[in-house]
Amino acid sequence: MRLRLAVAAMLPLLTLAACGTATSSQETGPTRTVKHAMGETKVPMTPQRVVVLDTDKLDTMVSLGLAPVGAAQAQENQKWPQYLGSSLSATKAVGTLQAPNIEAIMALKPDLILGSKFRQAAFYDKLSKIAPTVFTERVGVTWKENFLLDAEALGKKDQATQLLSTYETRAKEVGTKFSKLEVGIVRFMPTEIRMYGPESFSGIVVGDAGIPRPTAQQLADQEDKRFGKLSQENIAKADADAIFYSAYGEAAAKSQATVTGGPLWKGLEAVKSGNAHNVDDEIWMLGIGVTAAGKILDDLDKYLAPLA
């Protein structure tokens, strides 16, 4: 009887020990703790299967010589950004930025998920049950901080710091030649026209180069200095020594064709002098990373040279 009681008493301990063994066997090796927008997360020292849920993180991974196994798209069935080349040819789509596909993410067995609190806060709990999940706070205006945080989670912070330093040095070199010119940035959306301010991604790159912006595009009267809205009637606010403009998607491209074919656009000084340039929206607006920033500098160098 005593023996039976002793065995019965030991069973819970054996069960606990078995549970402990199961938990430790799921660990993938040494980890690092990363502080981020949702708290602190232990991540693998060198993640191998990464899923990313925002467009900036595609640029980040390719810039660091990596490729995610899965990524969310800005829109359904959208192709990966062409400017990143063939690096993402094996990357699987896992829903959209606003609605990531949890089942598709789970099927890829990621060991790290990178996302954004701004877009995916509601999904964080589900995602963090699949794999260690690190979220940046915002998008766009904090692109450099986001790059360094994502790189830290990927175990590549030193490389990222070097890439950022190289970019900033080049921005100053490019901008020195064009410090007396004003640059306008315009984007055609499906239902509106926007002029981009100093806290947008492309606006920050132009600012890093020290190239001035027209007064209207500094958005001094707005708290949110990412962009302001334009109409065809006040399109003159877009004018500058040179204008760089792009369209987000096919519907916006039709709007762009209509506006740029009209008399008000054709009356802008930059347009009349041949200094309005249609640029790649994926680079100027969606890239939000160090590789895209470098390509914006390429465009500035190329198109502003005749004016310098």
CA distances 2 to 5, 6, 112, 134, 261, Å, are 5, 6, 50, 53, 95
SS3 19: helix
pLDDT, tens digit, 9 for 90 and up, residues 165-198: 999 999 999 999 999 999 999 999 999 999 999 9
28-155: CATH superfamily:
Nitrogenase molybdenum iron protein domain (3.40.50.1980)
State mean pLDDT over 145-171: 98
Residue 268 has pLDDT above 50, yes or no: yes
115: buried, middle or exposed (CB in 10 Å: 19+, 13-18, 0-12)?
buried
Residue 157 has pLDDT above 70, yes or no: yes
Sorted by where each begins, the domain ranges of the chain are 28-155, 171-307
> Which pLDDT score, from 0 to 100, does residue 18 have?
37
pTM: 0.88
Q: What is the assigned CATH class of domain 171-307?
A: alpha beta
User: What is d(CA 68, CA 62) in angstroms, rounded to the nearest whole number?
Assistant: 9
> Which pLDDT score, from 0 to 100, does residue 113 have?
98
User: 171-307: same fold as 28-155?
Assistant: yes
